A and B are shown apart, each in its own frame.
Chain A
Amino acid sequence: MVSKSKVLPKGISAAEFDKAVRELRAIVGDEHVLVDEEKLAPYRKIMMPVSEAQHELSASVMPDGVEQIQRVMKVANKYRVPVYPISTGKNLGYGSAAPVQRGQIVMDLRRMNRIIEVDAELCTALVEPGVTYQQLYDYLQEHKLPLWFSCPAPSAIAGPVGNMVDRGVGYTPYGEHFMFSCGMEVVLADGQVLRTGMGAMENSNTWQVFKWGYGPTLDGIFTQSNFGVVTKMGMWLMPAPPDFRPFCIQYPNETDITKIVEALRPLRIAMVIPNAVVIAHTLWEAPCTPVKRADYHTGPGAISDEAVKKIQADHNIGAWNVYAGLYGTKETNDANWKIIEAVAAGTGGKIITQEASKGSKALEYRFDLMKGKPNLGEFGLYNWRGGGGSIWFAPVSQAKGAETLKQMQMAKTILAKYGFDYVGEFIVGWRDMHHVIDLLYDRSKPEEMEKAYACYDELLHTFAKEGYGMYRANTAFAEKVAATYGPVKRDVEKRLKKALDPNNIIAPGRCGISL
Chain B
Amino acid sequence: MYARRLAVCLGSVATLVVAGGAQAAWRDGGEVYDKVCRYCHEANVGPVLKGRALPTEYIQRVVRMGNRAMPAFRPSEIDDATLADVARRVSGSAAVAQE
Q: A39-B75, A242-B5 are in contact. Are A117 and B20 (CB under 8 A)?
A: yes
A90 within 8 A of B: yes
- B23–A42 contact, CB under 8 A? no
A388 within 8 A of B: yes
Q: A113-B24, A116-B20, A242-B6 are in contact. Are A157 and B36 (CB under 8 A)?
A: yes
Q: Main SS of the interface on chain B?
A: loop
Bitwise, A452-486 to B at CB < 8 A (1) or not (0) is 00000000000000000000000000000000000
- A62–B6 contact, CB under 8 A? no
A341–chain B nearest beta-carbon distance, Å: 21
- B17–A120 contact, CB under 8 A? yes
- B45–A121 contact, CB under 8 A? no
- B77–A110 contact, CB under 8 A? yes
A240 neighbours in B (Cβ, 8 Å)? 9
A375 within 8 A of B: yes
- B65–A376 contact, CB under 8 A? no
In the complex, the chain A residue whose C-beta lies closest to that of B35 is: A134
B76 neighbours in A (Cβ, 8 Å)? 60, 62, 108, 110-111, 130
The docked-state distance in angstroms from the alpha carbon of A248 to that of B40 is 23
Contact-size category for B: 35 or more
- B23–A45 contact, CB under 8 A? no
B97 within 8 A of A: no
- B10–A120 contact, CB under 8 A? yes
Bitwise, A12-50 to B at CB < 8 A (1) or not (0) is 000000000000000000000010000101111100000
A372 within 8 A of B: no
B19 within 8 A of A: yes
B72 within 8 A of A: yes
The docked-state distance in angstroms from the alpha carbon of A120 to that of B44 is 36
Q: Which of B1-51 contact A (CB under 8 A)?
A: 1-2, 5-6, 9-10, 13-24, 35-36, 39-40, 43-46
- A43–B68 contact, CB under 8 A? no
B80–chain A nearest beta-carbon distance, Å: 10
Q: A146-B13, A239-B6, A383-B45 are in contact. Are A41 and B72 (CB under 8 A)?
A: yes
Contact pick for A146, options B9, B22, B67, B73, CB 8 Å? B9
B41–chain A nearest beta-carbon distance, Å: 10
- B23–A64 contact, CB under 8 A? yes
B74 within 8 A of A: yes
The docked-state distance in angstroms from the alpha carbon of A117 to that of B20 is 6
In the complex, the chain B residue whose C-beta lies closest to that of A108 is: B76
